[in-house]
Structure 1
Amino acid sequence: MTKSAKLAAILVLGLLLLPSAALLAQQSFKTTIYLDYRYFLSTEGPITLEPASPTSAYLNNAFLFRRAYFNYENKINDNLKFRFRLDADNTANLTGVTLTGDPVSGVSTKKDDKLRPFIKHLFLQYDNFLVPMMTLNVGMIETLTFKPAEERWGLRSVAKTLVDGYKDITKT
């Protein structure tokens, strides 16, 4: 193969790969993980058995995952966008409150320490749908519950709201 034929083959191959490179530039993969480190200064924290010596107990100081996001976005063209967001929520906060007795004499709570993944967003967004500045969203779209506060203050809420954490406590 001559030098000019090699150069022509590389040029053709580069031109063929150019559209795929442009498509990859419009895709984004993002991951956000929120975690806490729990350290007990007193001996009143959760006690577990030491793995090397099952008869001696120690405080369970540890990293805890609070929330994790996996986000995939693809801007197909100027008007069409696809989003898939997987959210894994640590529901170690209270998952339920039950009032006991009539009249109420006590409260019992339920906890779940597992990181439970679920699909948060899965939608197509079509901008300038019928008229300019009109957007059509199809699928599991994001709601405006927290978006105005996040845009205003620039902070993301990672803890459950009172209603989410305690469920409906107005029932008797």
Structure 2
Amino acid sequence: MRPRSMLIVMGLVLIGFVGNASAEGRIKGYMFGDYYWVASADDGETKLPEQRNAFQLRRLYLTYENQIADDFSIRYRLEAKDAGFGKGSKMVPFVKHGYLKWSDAVGESDLYIGLSGTPTWSASESAWGYRSIEKTVMDLNKIGSSADLGVGLKGSAGNIGYHVMIGNGPGQAPEDDHGKKFYGQVRFAPSDGLTLVGYADFNMRPAEQNQVTFAGFVGISQGDLTLGLEPFMRINQSAAADGDDVTITGVSLFGRLPLAEQWNAFGRVDAVSDDSDDTTDLLVVAGLDYVAAKNVHIMPNLYLGLPDGPDPNIQARVTCFYKF
């Protein structure tokens, strides 16, 4: 059986299983997509040229969770997304999460075994709150993966929390070398409404081309106002043609603010610098969030990509998000 057919069968089996076991478990999911129009682009732009427009489903998630014993629970998640403009391929689901959670396995810390979420940008993504609009700055620039296959330990004591993990490194893809990736995140909440996060990882790669990442996050929440600042640095060791290291640095500043009943505003600015080509690219996102009903959001927004050199890429979008 072809791999795509197998994934489709897996999805149907999961849906059927959930339907039969709904009394014992929980099914949930969400979707987001847009209508977009590229108002302006560089003459050399091929991926999103000027005047391109389309409806697209950027993500579909189906998740099943079940408490299978007093201290053990499971989670399975399938993900599908639009193949892209002109690709001619249908959406095919793949396994996003598949893990066993052992509650209080080490003291009051929980052990995760399998394909589970990494700590790489979990704090900033939660604070940003608009994954349906755009990925976090690290996710967008492929500084890691949102999930990995391995073992993780997560816990907290008072106002300090931690998440450590050892995984293969390639995320949802199969292992491709003998090295492993080590993750560590520490959270500190010194007061109500203030969150400080420190993060680091080390990815062992062949030919000593290891990858080292450092990141931080500062989150402020006062009433309905939320602000976040996320800097990062990725060092790709011996990655340049002459054997030197390549360093990528970036920072993201974002916020959201209620305007009126059912209306919120959000905005974000990213700056990412790559010393391999001595460039700094900017991204500006701003929009309105209309809460049409509980768990249903309609969000007109502007998306401005400001690369170092080419002309800006300006998109007008209307994004829809719902979850159940």
Distance change in 2, residues 1:129/1:40 (3 Å): closer
Aligned alpha-carbon RMSD (Å): 3.4
1:96-145: per-residue Cα shift (whole Å, max 9, x none)? xxxxxxxxxxxxxxx856434221110000011142x1212111111112
Q: Distance in 1 between matches of 2:95 and 2:105?
A: 26
Larger CA Rg, structure 1 vs 2: 1
Q: Does 1:82 align with 2:60?
A: no
Runs of 4+ in 1 over 6 A off after TM superposition: none
| Corresponding residue of 1:117 | 93
Distance change in 2, residues 1:65/1:28 (3 Å): same
Distance change in 2, residues 1:78/1:153 (3 Å): farther
Distance change in 2, residues 1:91/1:148 (3 Å): farther
Distance change in 2, residues 1:112/1:62 (3 Å): closer
Give the unaligned 5+ runs of structure 1: 1-22, 47-60, 94-110
CA contact (8 A) 1:90 1:113 kept: no
Q: Distance in 2 between matches of 1:62 and 1:92?
A: 10
Q: Distance in 2 between matches of 1:45 and 1:151?
A: 33
Q: Does 1:154 align with 2:133?
A: no
Identity %: 30
| Corresponding residue of 1:56 | none
Q: Distance in 1 between matches of 2:25 and 2:61?
A: 17
Match among 57, 64, 76 for residue 72 of structure 1:
64
| Corresponding residue of 1:135 | 110
1:13-55: per-residue Cα shift (whole Å, max 9, x none)? xxxxxxxxxx7445111121111123588xx645xxxxxxxxx
Give the unaligned 5+ runs of structure 2: 1-20, 40-49, 144-235, 242-324
Residue identity in the other structure for 1:35: G
Q: Distance in 1 between matches of 2:142 and 2:83?
A: 14
| Corresponding residue of 1:35 | 33
As a proportion of its length, which structure holds more helix?
Answer: 1
Q: Secondary structure at the match of 1:145?
A: coil
| Corresponding residue of 2:301 | none
Aligned pair count reads 113
Q: Distance in 2 between matches of 1:26 and 1:65?
A: 31
Q: Secondary structure at the match of 2:105?
A: coil
Q: Distance in 1 between matches of 2:56 and 2:67?
A: 34
How far 1:66 sits from its partner (Å)? 0.8
Q: Secondary structure at the match of 1:73?
A: strand
How far 1:73 sits from its partner (Å)? 0.7
Q: Secondary structure at the match of 1:163?
A: coil
Residue identity in the other structure for 1:71: T
1:71-117: per-residue Cα shift (whole Å, max 9, x none)? 11112234211000111133538xxxxxxxxxxxxxxxxx8564342
Residue identity in the other structure for 1:88: A
CA contact (8 A) 1:123 1:137 kept: yes
Larger relative contact order (CA 8 Å, sep ≥ 6): 1
